[in-house]
Amino acid sequence: MIRPVVNLNGTAGADLLQQLQKAVAATTELKQALRMAAPHGRDYQTAPEGAYGAATATYTMHMRNLEALSDELGAAFSAVCEQLDAKAARWRP
């Protein structure tokens, strides 16, 4: 993810932080929901051979993608925080 740059013509830094925080929280909630819906062997007993393995592999891929997305959003949040901290430090007497 290309991290946003706080500037006078863009979204206010506080608004960016709020938006990113909500996005990170949403990925956390989605990961929890996905964990609750993880494949279980009992649900594939009558499925064709290999179905449970395929479902597990797909589940694992989705969880990794969500982790990567969450990490990127967290990094963007940190980058905005750093920019705001640097800006505040420049204005301190």
Domain boundaries along the sequence of the chain? 13-91
Taking the model in full, what pTM does it have? 0.86
pLDDT in tens, 22-76: 999 999 999 999 999 999 999 999 999 999 999 999 999 999 999 999 999 999 9
What is the pLDDT at residue 68? 97
What is the pLDDT at residue 90? 87
**Residue 4 pLDDT greater than 80, yes or no:** yes
Q: Is the dihedral of CA 8, 9, 15, 21 positive or negative?
A: negative
